Amino acid sequence: MSLKCGIVGLPNVGKSTLFNCLSSAKAQAANFPFCTIEPNLGTITVPDERLNKLAELVNPGRIVPATCEIVDIAGLVKGASRGEGLGNKFLGNIRECDAIIHVVRCFDDDNVVREGGSAVNPIEDKEIIDTELQLKDLETIDAQLTKQQKAANAGNKEAKVAVKVLEAYKAVLEQGKNARSVSFDSKEEQQAAHNLFLLTTKPVLYVCNVDEQSAVSGNDYSRQIEAVAANEGAETMTIAAKTEEEIASLENYEDKKLFLDELGLGESGVNRLINKAYHLLDLQTFITAGEMEVKAWTFRKGWKAPQCAGVIHTDFEKGFIRAEVIKYSDYVEYGSETAVREAGKLRIEGKEYVVEDGDIMHFRFNV
């Protein structure tokens, strides 16, 4: 299961600096890969210290972490929904993403000119991006609504559901709110909503880009964004992108750790951001551990054992018999799978078992 997050924001808010920091994530775990597919697209690893700990016990041939794609979507300005600043191209890039990382400028710097040249105003910056995305969604809805209304009037049941969904979204968007504030009860409505691929239904993480002095506790600017995001039910985090750039430039782990300790940060902002992006869509990992590899597999929170087996191979799900499950804490405590078995801590689970984050799994199947 792949995850793609798009970094959006106005010019000069720190998007590209943040992307460049993410692209240096390889330095934080030497055997974890980073690959640039295009200049603005990178595949980065999801930091997970559990894999390193298990590798110490298992001595595998390789470690394979979970990954996600990050896209640096440049050029969003006021008027993007009408094509300003290559807006149509970049709005199309957002449509292909699973989640949005919305970077907001929360720092003062006379050398970095704000779009339009006025004083720093994070709420206005956020609203400009929101408005452009909302206008594009309204355009999508208007294009669909007339067509679906005609089909609904002719008695098409699916069209009637679509019309209900489109009208609900339209009412909210015309109030200047994001479509993600609307929820639907029936599976038919939920599917119709999903099929629209609206920009403002995507989960969003607001990243407050602050100065170094505010890296730990934030500042008045970031607190403004946190208050607005709380009303939306959205997540926020504070990061000092320029400082993260300095951390990313350091060669070894010890130097990075020393720098973080001096700043009062337990973990780099880049690591926190990657994990937040990963969990934004309720994604978790189960682990397989053996002599060949220790590997993290991505699954949706709440999935049962057969669905997770299908992540490895569809045959595993089709022919699922049972799952052998070891809790990560038990594996670390006893030191090996054999010791876990002897201690009676290996569990046999069936089709109804809901897999938990960090479960070490071995699937039995027959096809």
Pairing assessment for the beta strands 320-326 and 347-349 based on DSSP bridges: antiparallel
Query: Which residues fall within 8 angstroms of residue 306, CB to CB, at 6 or more apart?
Result: 317, 320, 351
**Integer angstrom CA distances of residue 29 from 21, 68, 256, 277:** 14, 15, 12, 18
Among 200, 203, 194, residue whose Cα is nearest residue 280:
203
Give yes or no for a contact between 43 and 139, defined as CB atoms under 8 angstroms apart: no
One-letter identity of residue 316: F
* Under 8 Å between Cβ of 19 and 41: no
Cβ(77)–Cβ(10) below 8 Å: yes
Query: Nearest CA to 348 among 336, 335, 362?
Result: 362
Secondary element (H or E) of residue 33: none
Is 17 annotated in some ligand binding site? yes
DSSP result, 303-344: -BHHHHHHHH-HHHHHTEEEEEEE-HHHHHHH-SHHHHHHTT
SS3 label, residue 363: strand
15 labeled binding residue? yes
Dihedral class, residue 268 (left if φ above 0, else alpha if ψ from -120 to 50, else beta): beta
Closest CA to 13 of 122, 163, 148: 122
Rounded to 5°, angle at Cα 33 from 54 and 66:
55
C-alpha–C-alpha distance, residues 137 and 181, integer Å: 14
- Counting every residue written for the chain, the total comes to 367
Could you tell me if 228 and 235 are in contact, meaning their C-beta atoms sit under 8 angstroms apart?
Answer: no
Residue 61 marked ligand-binding: no
Helix (H) or strand (E) holding 110: none
26 among annotated binding-site residues: no
Q: Which residues belong to the annotated binding site?
A: 12-17
Q: Which residues belong to the annotated binding site for ATP?
A: 12-17
